[in-house]
Amino acid sequence: MQSPRDMGHDTIEHRDVKFDFDLSQLKKHWFNNDPWMTHLFNGLFCAVPDGERWVMQSARKQMGKLKDEKSIETVKRFIKQEASHSREHDLVNAIMLNFGVPADKAEKFFKQVRQKVQAVSSDDMQASIAAAIEHFTAVLSEVLLESPDLFDDMDPKIRSLVYWHMVEETEHKAVSHELFEQTVGKGPKQYLMRVTGLVGTFGFGFYAVFFNMFYLLYADKQLGNVASAVRMLKIIGYQPGFVRKILMACVPYLKPGFHPWERDNRALIAVWKETYQRTGDVLQATEEFRATQGKPMALHKRSAGKRQVKSSNPGAQAA
C-alpha cells in the first residue's frame, strides 16, 4: 500500500493547453446565465493570475533548498502547470473587460492585498500560505468535479478551462505541502507556522474573493437580484455546499501529521487524464469525463492553436 507521501509525484504532467475563445459564443453571465454565481467565480478568477504567480515565486525560492532530484523535478512540473493556469486566466479576465466587467480593478485589489501579506511574511511563512492556498483549491476542485449539474448551461470552452484547472489542482495538491515540510520542517514550531498560514489564507483569501464579487455585482447593477443571490447561497452553503465543505476541510489540515493525499481521489480525475493523454483535446477530455457522470457529450472543435480573442460584437452579448 502506498504511503500518502509516495502518491502524485509521477502523475504531475504539464499540459500546455491554450484556449481560443469567440466572444460571439459567450455570455456576460457565463455561469449558467446567473449573475451572482458568475461574479462569485469572476471574483475568484481575478485572484488566479497573481495568486498563481505568488505560489510559483514561493516554490522557486524554496526549491533552491531541496537536495532530492525527484522532488526538484516535481516542483518544476508543478510550476509549469501553474504558469499555464495564470496565462489562460489572464485571457479569461481580458474577456471580462470586453463585456464591461472591471476585472482589471478587481485584479488590482487582490494584488494590493497580496503585497501587504507578502510584505509582512518571511519566505517560510509564504511557503506555508502557498500550501494552504493549494489545499483550499484542491478541496474546491474535488467538490466541483463531483457536481456536474453546476456546469450544464455553460460554454463548452469555459467549462473545459474550469475542468482542466480543477484536474491539475487535484493532481498537484500535495506539492506545496511537501515543499513546506522538506524545506521548513515538521516540528512544533513549523506546525504552528503551517496552521497560521491556513488561518491567514482563510482570512485574506475569502475577504479578497467576496469583496471582488460584491464589487463586480455593484458594477454590473446586479446587487439587487435577490433570486440570483438566493440561488448562489444555496449552492455555496447547501448543495453542493462548496464553501461549507472548504471550511470543513480545515479540520483535518489542523492534524499535526496531515498530508493532502490522505484523501486519495486520484480515481476522480482518471478518465479526464486518460482521455487527454489519448487525444490531446481538453474539450473531449472534459466531455468524456462528464459522460461518465451521465451528462450528454457536447459537440466541439479542438481548442488548441489560435491565441486571439475573437469578437464580433461584444456589446450585443452584454445582457
Give residue-wise pLDDT tens across range 229-285: 999 999 999 989 988 888 888 899 999 999 999 999 999 999 999 999 999 999 999
Entry pTM: 0.91
In a domain, 12, yes or no: no
pLDDT for the residue 312: 34
Instruction: Annotate 91-160 with DSSP letters as a single string.
Output: HHHHHHHHTT--HHHHHHHHHHHHHHHHHT--HHHHHHHHHHHHHHHHHHHHHHHT-GGGGTTS-HHHHH
In a domain, 292, yes or no: yes
In a domain, 164, yes or no: yes
pLDDT for the residue 23: 84
Residue 187: CB atoms within 10 Å: 10
Total domain count for the chain? 1
pLDDT for the residue 4: 64
* pLDDT, averaged across the chain: 90
In a domain, 198, yes or no: yes
In a domain, 242, yes or no: yes
How does pLDDT run along the chain (319 residues), one tens digit per residue? 556 666 566 689 999 999 999 888 899 999 999 999 999 999 999 999 999 999 999 999 999 999 989 999 999 999 999 999 999 999 999 999 999 999 999 999 999 999 999 999 999 999 999 999 999 999 999 999 999 999 998 999 999 999 999 999 999 999 999 999 999 999 999 999 999 999 999 999 999 999 999 999 999 999 999 999 999 999 999 989 988 888 888 899 999 999 999 999 999 999 999 999 999 999 999 999 999 988 887 655 554 434 444 433 333 333 3
pLDDT for the residue 252: 94
Enumerate the H helices of the chain as residue ranges: 35-45, 48-63, 69-98, 103-119, 123-145, 156-171, 175-183, 188-219, 226-237, 242-248, 250-253, 266-279, 282-291, 314-317
CA distances from 100 to 28, 36, 90, 195, 286 (A): 9, 16, 16, 39, 29
Residues in the chain: 319
Give the CATH number of the domain where residue 188 resides. Answer: 1.10.620
In a domain, 238, yes or no: yes
The string of pLDDT tens digits covering residues 184-220 is 999 999 999 999 999 999 999 999 999 999 999 999 9
pLDDT for the residue 175: 97
Please give the grid coordinates belonging to residue 94: 481580458
Give 60's contacts (C-beta < 8 A, 6+ positions apart).
79
pLDDT for the residue 173: 96
In a domain, 17, yes or no: no
In a domain, 244, yes or no: yes
| Structural domain harbouring 117 | 22-317
